[in-house]
Structure 1
Amino acid sequence: MTEGGPLDNMLAQMEQAREYVDIDDGIFERLKSPERTLTVSLPVRMDDGSVEVFEGYRCQFDSARGPFKGGIRFHPTVSKEEVAALAGWMTWKTALVDLPFGGAKGGIVCQPKELSEREIEQLTRRYTEGIRRMIGPEIDIPAPDMNTDERTMAWIMDTYSMYQGYAVPEVVTGKPPEIGGTAGRVEATGRGVAVVTEETFEYLGTDLDGADVAIQGFGNVGSVTARLLDERGANVVAVSDVTGALYDPDGLDVQAVSAHVADNGGRLEGYDAEEYVTNDDLLTLDVDALIPAAIEDVVTVDVAERLQADVVVEAANGPTTFDAAAVLRERGVPVVPDILANAGGVIVSYLEWVQNSQQYSWELEEVNRDLEDRLTSAFDEMLAAYERKGIPDLRTAAYTIALERTAEAHEYRGLFP
């Protein structure tokens, strides 16, 4: 078996779903390629007076169902191929949960931990200037992603607004509440993962209360997922970050771990755990559920052959390679796909965008209820497709829904000119 990068992974997932959905060949070819990808050169004056040139991207994959939507990440591994894959996954994600959006993704090749706050602000504003002709409330609405947050979105909004001459809060989502952000957005992705995990356990006929869960990644998504699953009675036995993984077969004190991370520059190292293991060890622990919540391509064929979890819930984008998914399918290990499991973030981003457009806001309880309703509805639709069509796995079932909805939008709109 050979394992390609994230774009090859996504295209292979599409091809696998192709035989289960009736799509015109010409439209399917259109669905396989982004509409456009912009590369921008970003010179930034550093704190020592030198000028460093960074590279950034914005990929807009498909707009048949509505404006482009997708996050912006700051990370050393950002590449043109990666943002194209992530933009594609966002397209299928918004279609699966039936939001009136297409998919996009952006990123800057950098190591944020090596940059000062001022340098990150300058880099963000320069990037915003570089892509501002591509974005807008009715065109493309960015959001936070890896190593970006509310503050980053505030800088993007401010930079865009300066060019427009008036405040445009609806140009991005994931903003601070003080400038149009919505209650519940920061924890939305993690909350969605917890909701989908609970639905999965119910579908499999097992009890989440007391179930052993391992979570790879303890950033925003992983930490929120851990806290909410812990509150629902799950036994979170392992969590990890780049410094390694904490493991306690009796269950970690999630609140204590979170407090340690908050006081330790966002890092797990130094926590007094029962045991430290490697990230690879975490992926192959004997647990009821494995939740990869970090980066792409961590569940490889090698990991899949040794994996002992009863179910995998993909909180990260593209954490399971195409070939690894085949191994898990052959072994009878269900995988809840990323385009459903981590869709909570884009659902609440949609709610924020609607609120900004209407200049109105909803209470946290209403936002969380809408999030849960949309996810459970999409989960039920995925299961119905899986059982009705004799589809081999849950991911393929989810893709048939997403591809069909997007293809129907293209069919109705036709081809210009």
Structure 2
Amino acid sequence: MADDPFENMLAQMDRAEEYAEVDHGIFERLKHPERTLKVTLPVKLESGGVEVFEGYRCQFDSARGPFKGGVRYHPSVTQREVEALAGWMTWKAALVDLPYGGAKGGVICEPKELTDRDLERLTRRYTEGIRRMIGPETDVPAPDMNTNPQTMAWMMDTYSMYEGYTVPKVVTGKPLEIGGTPGRVEATGRGVSIITERLFEYLERDLTEATVAVQGFGNVGANAARLLDDAGARVVAASDVTGGAYDPEGLDVPTLATHVDAGGLMEEYTAGVVRGVSDDRTRWDEAGHIDNETLLSLDVDVLIPAAVEGVITAHNVDDIRASAVVEAANGPTTVAADEILTERDVQVVPDILANTGGVIVSYLEWVQNSQEFSWPLQTVNAELERRIGSAFDETIARYDDGDVPDLRTAAYTIALERTASAHEYRGLFP
């Protein structure tokens, strides 16, 4: 099951069914995506050769509104993964009460091996391949793993060329200059930080005395670490695919983030630290390299998996010593591991709640594009905090009722009930 994210999602749904007030017939419908498109993408590379890539776009459920979901570029992309991610997007949008259904897209590629020009051609080809599915009232893509505002700009431009006029709200996560919204890049990480703070308030614990480990120091993990560091938590470990940095006294998060923002790798940074070439020698003399598996097993107050799915499994869950897990990544914990963590009273804030900051601010960007009016950063951040805070409160209230075993099941019951209710009102066509 750990190797199949779609089966993992279905198992999470099954755990919640007995607690959710959902007609069984509708529940069975919710297990199946509405459609998945596979596209073949021949691209002429800057090197002169032609490479054929494979891409997908899954539209999972549209009962609550247009499809919404990111596009990822990664060698491990599969159809099953994209369908699982589209399902999780459906439950996220429902949980935070956005008028969206869930979707997801992906292209099998290694972005590090492609030039910027290659990536542009690949993006435009992929957009052309899925353009009959997407649209501002139909399906609105956004950035995900290894995609960014520039990727969205290329997608928007390609779609607009076919339409004959500029269509900003066909995608979200765009650069500010072409209809993006301030706060979107940091939104998912900010949401993770807000949820972590709210969790500590709920547990009546002091965040300024907490230690945090972050697996995955990309956009989401780095922004969550920055904000938690600003809030007074002690971030003791962070990692990327090359490994991690560890300092029990606390990492210099701003310095580390600056290194990564500049395109640096964690292994380069820790090697530099060990040789004493850090700007802050005193702080980093005792810091060193740590591998990703060891990071997961650190004795910390909060573990934030912010990389890929399926990293906490039945094989390593006994090594998890964190007292709380906040899922910044999609599907990082398998159902088998989840059950063991629940038995051990480890609070796991599920992905469909913890990482919803991105889709919330994407919605706010889409609304601004619809109104042709922009909001200041303070308004965007305040609305993000209000919406994700409300979803947290609703999830906690469902959990505190005592009927559900964990926060994930509580979140799923809310999301499933809202989506099922939309299906009930709309009926079954024809």
TM-score, scaled to structure 1: 0.98
Shifted more, 142-151 versus 388-397: the winner is: 388-397
**Counterpart in 2 of 1:209?**
208
**Counterpart in 2 of 1:368?**
381
**Counterpart in 1 of 2:365?**
352
TM-score, scaled to structure 2: 0.95
Shift of 1:29: 1.1
CA deviations over 1:178-235 (Å, ceiling 9, x no partner): 0000010000000000000000111111111131000000000000001000000000
**Counterpart in 2 of 1:324?**
337
**Counterpart in 2 of 1:48?**
47
Runs of 4+ in structure 1 over 2 Å off: none
* 2:20 match: secondary structure: coil
Q: Quick one: which of 254, 269, 282 aligns to 2:267?
A: 269
Shifted more, 162-171 versus 385-394: the winner is: 385-394
Q: Quick one: which of 399, 409, 417 aligns to 1:386?
A: 399
Shifted more, 152-161 versus 21-30: the winner is: 21-30
Shift of 1:302: 2.3
User: Which amino acid in the other structure matches residue 362 of structure 2?
Assistant: S
CA deviations over 1:65-118 (Å, ceiling 9, x no partner): 000000000000000000000000000000000000000000000000000000
- 1:227–1:255: 8 Å Cα contact kept in structure 2? yes
* 2:83 match: secondary structure: helix
- 2:368–2:374: 8 Å Cα contact kept in structure 1? yes
CA deviations over 1:350-375 (Å, ceiling 9, x no partner): 00000000100111000000000001
- 1:20–1:389: 8 Å Cα contact kept in structure 2? no
Alpha-carbon distance in 1 for matches of 2:202, 2:151: 38
**Counterpart in 2 of 1:341?**
354
* 2:209 match: secondary structure: coil
CA deviations over 1:227-257 (Å, ceiling 9, x no partner): 0000000000000001101000000000111
CA deviations over 1:111-153 (Å, ceiling 9, x no partner): 0000000000000000000000000000000000000000000
Shift of 1:50: 1.3
**Counterpart in 1 of 2:223?**
224
Query: What stretches of structure 2 of length at least 5 have no aligned partner?
Result: 274-283
**Counterpart in 2 of 1:16?**
15
Alpha-carbon distance in 1 for matches of 2:264, 2:389: 32
User: Which amino acid in the other structure matches residue 133 of structure 2?
Assistant: M
- 2:184–2:362: 8 Å Cα contact kept in structure 1? yes
How high is the sequence identity, in percent, across the aligned residues? 68
**Counterpart in 2 of 1:68?**
67
**Residues 73-92 of structure 1: matches in 2 within 5 Å?**
73-92=72-91
Coordinate RMSD, CA, aligned: 0.8
**Counterpart in 1 of 2:280?**
none
Shift of 1:3: 3.7
- 2:361–2:380: 8 Å Cα contact kept in structure 1? yes
* 1:74 match: secondary structure: strand
